[in-house]
Structure 1
């Protein structure tokens, strides 16, 4: 890996992404994102790994109509918040962030850099890859830990990570729960035993993790003075979307003026596929297995909950972001913790 190139990519992402309000002024001076492939906007492109998405059909519905490294057909949920991946461990990302801070001081001076660092919002999206793309397909880990013990290991890493991030100046931190990983197409294909339903034993692992996440977060809030630590629940809205896909989708309003009265007809175009992804068969394809010659790739990804066998479509990401607005508002504006 080209260290300088990777560092500058991370610093550019961190230092330039901000939330904007209606008058164009930033709510926070910067948004720093740590996590796995759910929020990777292309940092893996320069790494020697198969876990990347810088080729078609990834990105086919993005604004540029080109692959960017995002593991989706278009925008990620974080793109909607502000108009990284599993192969870069969290502690390595933290080291990149330290280097980023040093570069920021060189560019704008210590006082200005400190102001940005303390006023910035920080988002941690991690854990899905640790389970779905690591533990559940790694017999060595399974021989060492039960899934619940592995959850405890990840929780300790989370506890240490937040304390280290706090020590580096972070005060506004958002962290997402695990999604219903037992409903991912790949997981159903591998562990569903010919069923098309979510694997609830694996979803229970995610629910247990999320309970531990809440308790650990409460302990961190008590321990770290002045921290605003907000949990973003992505489990419930995504689970409801998966089990009732036709209830969600794009809504269109059509108006007709008849006899001086305005008649409004609401047409609902919901999702129709949640069992498989759009790319290829939708059952196993992800990363390099999802490519421009994958047979069976759908024409309209907006009707699918999943893009590949792990990652949501742009349409799903938009719905998830809409559900997260209250928690995001809490992180940015109020002193109240919202779950």
Structure 2
């Protein structure tokens, strides 16, 4: 991983020299779509209970400010932005600053509680993926007005697009919704989501995207909330949920292979979240972590809303650097660093 990180750093330095000493990122922009794992603050502007705009969220972020990230600090996509050479992060698209000076580095369209299955977003008053694509169309119009149509097209084509999806659809919808799990098998539900994913990438391609990364499902059965809700008293990972994740990831990888063959000028890659997070959960000590069964905030069993993870939550840890999870669903900044490092191998092919 260090070799790859050094290669990316050398690439950034090379581009800096080619532009008179001013550091240039490896791609002109970074766009993120998806759910709470990559939401940098769109939830701040929504009428939803799934929010992170209050302490202790953000306590280890810049300025110790709760920005709407479901983490104590940086997300894996923030760390990716650092690696790519950006000096600031794509803003939440619904925030006022997203329509101003930050247009040229991209935007974040992700939303807490959002999913590919539009009903998931509807349940939690989140931004559906369908709506996120509409916002991207709106963004392109604003970008053309700021940068001119030619430069806007170049930015859109050269930028990196990261899609994170599926976890909310399963944990916050399928597994708890009898209208779904009693009428559709996991494979049928997975096929439906993968079909929507294919259509979404096709739409993004039609709007100019040429560098796309999609994250796999994490080991859903290892999330503290999943262990609490579906573990039947066991403290170990729920094997059925992990098997569901693996089968879904295989279907999604096949879809990515098919898309790469369909669009020969499309660079598309799978960012494997499952493997590094499962490794952290099952052998945390080997990577400097001490707690992998519960999150830092509150009891760390089910907390990921204002009612359960807040400044007065009893039991919140004083130091999250040795916790794999920040709350009962989302990784800590320290875990996000490990995850982001593991994505470098796939990512370098997208930006070079």
In which range does the TM-score fall when normalised by the shorter chain? 0.7 to 0.9
Q: Look up the SS of the partner of 1:32 in the other structure.
A: strand
**In the aligned structure 2, how far is the partner of 1:225 from the partner of 1:56?**
46
**In the aligned structure 2, how far is the partner of 1:59 from the partner of 1:138?**
31
**In the aligned structure 2, how far is the partner of 1:322 from the partner of 1:217?**
22
Aligned match of 2:65: 66
**In the aligned structure 1, how far is the partner of 2:79 from the partner of 2:259?**
28
Check whether the contact 1:37–1:71 (CA below 8 A) recurs between aligned residues.
Answer: yes
**In the aligned structure 2, how far is the partner of 1:139 from the partner of 1:299?**
39
Aligned match of 1:295: 314
Aligned match of 2:75: 76
Aligned match of 2:169: 130
**In the aligned structure 2, how far is the partner of 1:52 from the partner of 1:201?**
29
**In the aligned structure 1, how far is the partner of 2:28 from the partner of 2:185?**
42
The answer as to 2:152 corresponding to 1:113 is: yes
1:155 to 178, 189, 194: 194
Q: Look up the SS of the partner of 2:63 in the other structure.
A: coil
**In the aligned structure 2, how far is the partner of 1:313 from the partner of 1:279?**
10
Check whether the contact 1:188–1:196 (CA below 8 A) recurs between aligned residues.
Answer: yes
Output aligned runs, 1:1-339, within 5 Å.
21-22=12-13, 23=16, 24-83=23-82, 84-85=110-111, 86=114, 87-248=126-287, 270-288=288-306, 289-333=308-352
Larger proportion of strand: 1
Return the offset for 1:76: 0.6
Task: Give CA-to-partner distance per residue, 1:37-73, whole Å, 9 cap, x none.
Answer: 0000101100000111000110111121121100011
Check whether the contact 1:71–1:287 (CA below 8 A) recurs between aligned residues.
Answer: no
Gaps of 5+ in 1: 1-19, 249-269, 334-339
Q: Look up the SS of the partner of 2:269 in the other structure.
A: strand
Q: Look up the SS of the partner of 2:343 in the other structure.
A: helix
**In the aligned structure 2, how far is the partner of 1:66 from the partner of 1:119?**
31
Q: Look up the SS of the partner of 2:71 in the other structure.
A: coil
Q: Look up the SS of the partner of 1:158 in the other structure.
A: helix
The structure with the larger Rg is: 1
Aligned residues: 293
Normalised by the size of structure 1, how large is the TM-score?
A: 0.85
Taking a change above 3 Å as real, the CA distance of residues 315 and 145 of structure 1, as seen in their structure-2 partners, is same
Return the offset for 1:275: 0.6
**In the aligned structure 1, how far is the partner of 2:259 from the partner of 2:78?**
28
Q: Look up the SS of the partner of 2:182 in the other structure.
A: helix
Return the offset for 1:229: 0.6
Q: Which runs of 4 or more aligned residues in structure 1 lie more than 4 Å from their structure 2 counterparts after TM superposition?
A: none
